Chains A and B, each alone.
Chain A
């Protein structure tokens, strides 16, 4: 069984976000980068399937060389080979086209992604790739069971869950608790160095959107504290000042 895992290289969840150059560039000063947390679930699930389904796992990123540490980490966690498509992930359509173009030349049974990238928050690359290739795509997937080529899934929907059955090939956007998060061990880190790591040129593709600039959210105007013995005052403020109840 061949599995592809698509990962992003994104600011750590505790990062303070700032922009430079007149709010047109992300300011990466002091920012730590990580594999997107949802893609950590995707890698972990893929590695689980290595032992249970004898899977071969390829990890893929569309990005520049900054992403290499995240790809190496994925190898250390247990992926068998890494591929980086050497391109700036300019817009979501561009990224999806790059992934779809790569997949076309291969025979993956399962493509795992995260539910969403935590920088761009599109939540749609899986569906775009699925539609481009005519492969079913579902997200966010909380449980995934494979028996031969039959698949049983649990997908989160508003207020609950949906149970689905389909067959491979399949694209799934992962979220907890699909697998236990794995971290690299010493042996993993050592063997990662000898695993195949390929950098390929970007495929020809258009973009359909363009960033104009960024903005930070408006800051809160300061808090109004209310004495715990005057809870009725909170009620009165919410009703007459904030007008929200």
Chain B
């Protein structure tokens, strides 16, 4: 049997979250005695294949029909379903994303499989196959038993982190072609900020709220993020009024992040915001109101004016580089 891991790319490189999915598959393969078969579509940087072995991939299937780079969900889902059949895949793993979750759902229907999204840990195989998944928008976890023989798992960022497993992956070039009959929509364009660290990928997130007073003050937030190699987030009111784009908004009704470090500047810490950040390992809060609820949910805090504290913090980081 094998574990199929879907790898998503950023340009022609494999996303970090997908590398984590390989680690997850590889750790799981030790418990269920399976081969880890990874699948990537379209153009790929030549060194990327080897990298998959580093995290525990046994075999990489590279579907190099570049038409896939513009493909819609349905096309990927059926291609992966075929590969899962050919490779006698019993478990399908992917890192959560706007592309991967719908693919996972479609494959679950095609394979008659159990499915769990939002999974935050390695499965527990002691009695039955169960996974811990985040529910109530980050306010709780559910241990869910996946009862069907085949299982589809979509993992959250930092479910296990990157674990090296040092294998040498065999690379197989697949001549699978995109099936045009499966195109159920046309992608007419994309609008993405490139060259920036994506929120779901980031190890560090610098996030700011209404305490910043206006979009013109975001310069220091961007500078701090740049110094730390962090992604930028914000609270909902900030994206509602258009100070920042919608896809940066963190919380119950926005992106749920799980970085190693979350820095919240001028954010009060409303329960809906906290729901999106509760999986962060370390939380730092900078707020001039000592009563701000965020302080109750943080590891480190500075009660102070962001307009003084943040520039100082940028300075200290620069000095210590």
The residue in chain B whose Cβ has the minimal distance to the Cβ of A228 is B304
Q: Which of B41-49, B58-66, B161-169, B291-299 contacts A (4 or more CB under 8 A)?
A: B291-299
Looking at the complex, which one of A131, A211, A234 makes contact with B143 (CB distance below 8 Å)?
Answer: A211
B282 at the interface (CB under 8 A from A): yes
A232 within 8 A of B: yes
Any A CB within 8 A of the CB of B130: yes
User: Is the beta-carbon distance between B144 and A224 smaller than 8 angstroms?
Assistant: no
Bitwise interface map of A from 127 to 138 toward B, beta carbon under 8 Å scored 1, else 0? 110111000111
B316 adjacent to A231 (CB under 8 Å): yes
B147, B186, B309: which contacts A165 (Cβ < 8 A)? B186
Known A-B contacts A127-B102, A155-B98; the reply to A136 vs B189 at CB < 8 A is no
- 9-residue interface stretch from A66-74, A189-197, A202-210: A202-210
Q: Is the interface of A mostly helix, strand, loop or mixed?
A: mixed
CA distance A209 to B222 in the complex (A): 43
B303 at the interface (CB under 8 A from A): yes
A210→B146 CA distance, assembly (Å): 7
The CA of A130 and the CA of B300, in the complex, are separated in Å by: 45
- Asked if A120 and B115 sit within 8 Å, CB to CB, the answer is no
The residue on B at minimum CB distance from A226 is B302
Q: Which of B147-197 contact A (CB under 8 A)?
A: 147-148, 184-194, 196
Residue of A126, A160, A217 near B192 (CB, 8 A) is: A160
Q: Which residues of B contact A159 (CB under 8 A)?
A: 192-194, 196, 198-199, 247
Q: Is the CB of A13 within 8 A of B252?
A: yes
Q: Is residue B234 within 8 Å, beta carbon to beta carbon, of the partner chain?
A: no
Contacts across chains A and B counted by CB atoms under 8 Å: 251
A238, B105: Cβ atoms under 8 Å?
no
Bound CA–CA A132/B106 (angstroms)? 8
| CA gap between A139 and B141 in the complex, in Å | 24
Given that A92-B115, A156-B98, A212-B145 are contacting pairs, would A118 and B136 also be in contact in the complex, using a CB cutoff of 8 Å? yes
B207 at interface by CB-CB < 8 Å: no
CB of B115 within 8 A of CB of A157, answer no
Contact assessment for B300 and A224 in the assembled complex, using a CB-CB cutoff below 8 Å = yes
B128 nearest CB neighbor, chain A only: A212
A151-168 interface with B by 8 A CB criterion: 152-153, 155-166
- A119 within 8 Å of B (CB atoms): yes
Q: Are A157 and B192 touching (Cβ within 8 A)?
A: yes
Q: Evaluate contact between B299 and A128: CB separation under 8 angstroms.
A: no
Q: Does A186 contact B (CB under 8 A)?
A: no
Interface readout for A159-191 with B: 1 if CB under 8 Å, 0 if not? 111111110000000011100000000000000
CA distance A226 to B284 in the complex (A): 10
Collect the chain B residues with CB atoms within 8 Å of residue A13's CB.
137, 252-253, 271-272, 275
Inter-chain CA distance A155–B99, complex, in Å, is 11
Whether the pair A235, B186 counts as a contact (CB closer than 8 A) is no
Contact B198 A158 (CB under 8 A): yes
Using Cβ atoms and an 8 Å threshold, which residues of chain B touch A136?
74, 184-185
Return the contact of A156 from the options B108, B184, B246 (Cβ within 8 A): B246
Contact B105 A128 (CB under 8 A): yes
User: Chain B at the A interface: mostly helix, strand, loop or mixed?
Assistant: mixed
Residue of A nearest to B305 (CB): A228
Contacts of A221 in B (CB 8 A): 299
B117 within 8 Å of A by Cβ? yes
Given the complex, which residues of B lie within 8 Å of A127, measured CB to CB?
A: 73, 101-102, 105-106
B191 touches A160 (CB 8 A): yes
In the assembled complex, B317 has its CB within 8 A of some CB on chain A: yes
Q: Are B299 and A210 in contact, CB atoms less than 8 angstroms apart? A: no
B143 cross-chain contacts in A, Cβ below 8 A: 211-215
A223 touches B98 (CB 8 A): no
> Are B271 and A93 in contact (CB-based, < 8 A)?
no
Contact A157 B190 (CB under 8 A): yes
Cβ of B309 and Cβ of A235 under 8 Å apart? Answer: no
- A101 to B204 alpha-carbon distance, docked (Å): 44
Task: Give the Cβ gap from B11 to chain A, nearest Cβ, in Å.
Answer: 12
Residues from chain B with a CB closer than 8 A to the CB of A124 are: 101-102, 104-105, 108, 115, 117
- B216 near A: Cβ within 8 Å? no
- Known contacts A93-B114, A214-B135; 13 additional CB pairs below 8 A are A124-B115, A153-B185, A159-B193, A176-B253, A210-B144, A212-B145, A217-B139, A220-B283, A223-B298, A228-B308, A231-B309, A238-B300, A242-B282
Provide 12 A-B residue pairs closer than 8 Å at the C-beta atoms, listed in order of the A residue.
A127-B105, A208-B146, A209-B115, A209-B144, A210-B147, A212-B128, A216-B140, A217-B279, A224-B301, A225-B300, A234-B316, A242-B300
Point out residues on A near B: beta carbons under 8 Å.
Answer: 11, 13-17, 19, 37-38, 91-93, 118-124, 126-128, 130-132, 136-140, 142, 152-153, 155-166, 175-177, 207-217, 220-221, 223-228, 231-232, 234-235, 237-239, 242, 244-245
Shortest 7 CB-CB contacts between residues of A and residues of B: A228-B304, A160-B192, A127-B105, A166-B185, A124-B105, A136-B184, A131-B109
